[in-house]
Amino acid sequence: MGKKLVIVTCITCPQSCAIELVKTKDDYEVSGNKCKKGKEYAIQEVTNPMRSITTTVKTIFKDFPRLPVKTDKEIPLNDTFLFMEEINSVLVKERLKPGDIVLKGIRNMDINLVATFGL
């Protein structure tokens, strides 16, 4: 079996380098990057990319049926849908403001869901 190759589009600067990565024994063979930052970014992206989730949750209010929310920290991209499943079951019953916690400790992690707009 040939070595697995992954191409990452770098977004650390406008040059948008297409960086190629191949896994070696305990490191990565990186090519196509034009700077050091690009290499770090690319390795992060193929090992454990982190993202914030921005979405909505249900409310009980007829004039405001959905409240926009976000995770207060970045989460592993890999867990996105697991997080979404939990977020989808939330029902907001209070008139919240931006920054208010909607859901504490999602998936029992130190990550909260916070409101991003006021009801």
Region for residue 107 given its phi and psi (left: phi exceeds 0; alpha: psi -120 to 50; beta: otherwise): left
**Hey, which bits of 24-112 come out as E strands?**
28-31, 50-51, 54-59, 66-71, 75-76, 91-92, 101-103
Residues in contact with other proteins, counted by CB under 8 A, come to a total of 39
CB of 88 to other proteins, least distance (A): 5
| 73 scored as a contact of other proteins (CB under 8 A) | no
Task: Specify the pairing of strand 113-115 against strand 101-103.
Answer: antiparallel
Restricting to residues 82-101, which ones interact with other proteins according to CB under 8 A?
84-85, 88-89, 98
Distance between CA atoms of 29 and 24, rounded to whole angstroms?
A: 6
Among 20, 32, 58, 100, binds other proteins (CB under 8 A): 58
| 109 scored as a contact of other proteins (CB under 8 A) | no
Q: Which helix H or strand E contains 46, and what residues bound it?
A: helix 36-47
| 65 scored as a contact of other proteins (CB under 8 A) | yes
Name the site residues for other proteins (rule: CB under 8 A): 4, 6, 9, 11, 13-16, 21, 23, 28, 46-49, 51-58, 65-66, 68, 70, 77-78, 80-81, 84-85, 88-89, 98, 116-118
